[in-house]
Structure 1
C-alpha cells in the first residue's frame, strides 16, 4: 500500500514537472499554474458529457474481452495494470490500490500532461482541429507502445490505439469547447472509466 502511494505520488510529480517547468519559463507572469493547465471549475453540462463518455469508453474496451479469449488474456496478463490488480486478494488494500491507480496515478497524471499541457499548447500552435488531433494521436501511440511488451496480437494493438485515441480526442473537445478549458471533465471521464474498467476486469 505504501509503495503504491509512493508510486502514485512519483508519477504525478513526473507528469507535472514538464508542464510546470515550461510554465515557469514562459507563462508564470501571465497567470497561475493551475489556471494555466485548466485545473479550474467546470460547468455541469461538461461533467455530464464526461460521465457519459466514460461509460462509452468502458463498453468499447471491455466488450472485446467477453467476445474473444485473446483480448481477455492481454488484460489478465500480470504485466498489465489490470492483470496485476487481478492477482490481489479482494479487500481494503485492493480497493485503495484501484482508486489510487485509476483516479490519480493514471487519470490525473495523464490529464495534466496530455490535456492540461500538450493539448493546450498544440491547439494554440496548430488550431483546435489539428492540435487536438495530435495530442490524441500521441495518447493512442503511448498506450499502444505500453502493450507491445505484452502482446503482438495486431487486432488488440489496433484496438488499444483506436480507443484511447478516440477518447482522448473527445475529452479534448469537451474540455476546450464545452468546459472553457477546464481539465476536470477529462479527469472525471478518465478516472471513472478507469475505475469501472478495472473492476469489470477484476471480476471477469
Structure 2
C-alpha cells in the first residue's frame, strides 16, 4: 500500500511538473497555477453529467471482456492492472490500492496533464473544436501505443484508441463548456470509469 501511495504521489508530481515549469517561466510566479490547470470549483450540472459519462467509458471495456475470449485473456494477464487485482483477491489492501491507482495515479495525474495543460493550451492556440479533437487523438494514441506492447490485434487496438479518445473529448466538453474550465468533471468521469472497470474485471468476472 505504501509503495502504491508513493508511486501515485510521484506520478502526480511528474505529470504536474511540465505545466508548472511552463507556467512559472511564462509568469515568473507560481501564483494562479491551480487556476491555470483548472483545479477549481466545478458546477453541479457538469459533475452529474460526469457520473453518467463514466458509464459510457467503462461499459465498452467490460463488454469486450465479457464477450471476447482474447480480450478477456488480455485483461486477465497477471502483468495488467486488472490481472494483478485478480491475483490479490478482494480485500482491504486490494481495495485501497485500487482506489489509489484508479483515482489518483492514473485519472488525476492524466487529467492534470492532458485536460488541465495540453487541452487548454491547444484550445487557446487552435480554438475549442480543433484543440479538443487533437488532445483526444493524442490521448487515444498514447493508450493504443501502450496496449500495442502486449497485443497486435488490430480490433483491440482500434477499440483502445476510440474509447479513451471519446472519453478525453467528452471530458474537455464537460470541463470547458459546462464547468467553467474546471478539470473536476473530467477527473470524476475518468476516475469512476477506472474504478468500475478495475473492480469488475479484477474482482467480479
Instruction: Please give the TM-score of this superposition, normalised by the length of structure 2.
Output: 0.96
- Separation in 1, partners of 2:19, 2:83: 31
Partner of 1:198: 198
Which 10-residue stretch deviates more, 171-180 or 75-84?
75-84
Partner of 2:35: 35
- Separation in 1, partners of 2:28, 2:177: 25
Q: Is the contact between residue 77 and residue 150 of structure 1 (CA under 8 Å) also seen in structure 2?
A: no
Tell me how far 1:123 sits from its aligned partner: 0.2
Mind listing any 5+ residue stretches in structure 2 that lack a counterpart? none
Q: Which aligned segments of 4 or more residues in structure 1 are displaced greater than 3 angstroms?
A: 27-31
Partner of 2:177: 177
Q: Secondary structure at the match of 1:192?
A: helix
Tell me how far 1:61 sits from its aligned partner: 1.6
- 1:145 pairs with 2:106: no
Q: Secondary structure at the match of 2:188?
A: helix
- Separation in 2, partners of 1:166, 1:98: 23
- Separation in 1, partners of 2:139, 2:62: 19
Tell me how far 1:31 sits from its aligned partner: 5.4
Q: Secondary structure at the match of 2:102?
A: helix
Partner of 1:103: 103
- Separation in 1, partners of 2:92, 2:77: 23
Partner of 1:62: 62
Q: Is the contact between residue 80 and residue 150 of structure 1 (CA under 8 Å) also seen in structure 2?
A: no
Question: What CA RMSD, in Å, does the superposition of the two structures yield over aligned residues?
Answer: 1.2
The 5-angstrom pairing of residues 1-204 of structure 1 reads: 1-28=1-28, 32-202=32-202, 203-204=204-205
Q: Secondary structure at the match of 2:151?
A: coil
The alpha-carbon distance between structure 1 residues 91 and 121, as it changes in their structure 2 partners (threshold 3 A), is same
Mind listing any 5+ residue stretches in structure 1 that lack a counterpart? none
Q: For each residue in 1:56-113, what CA deviation from the matched residue of structure 2 results, as whole angstroms up to 9, or x when unmatched?
A: 1111221111111011111111222112222113211101000000000000000000
Aligned residues: 204
Q: Secondary structure at the match of 2:90?
A: coil
Which 10-residue stretch deviates more, 81-90 or 23-32?
23-32
Q: For each residue in 1:99-153, what CA deviation from the matched residue of structure 2 results, as whole angstroms up to 9, or x when unmatched?
A: 0000000000000000000000000000001101111001001111111121111
Instruction: Please give the TM-score of this superposition, normalised by the length of structure 1.
Output: 0.97
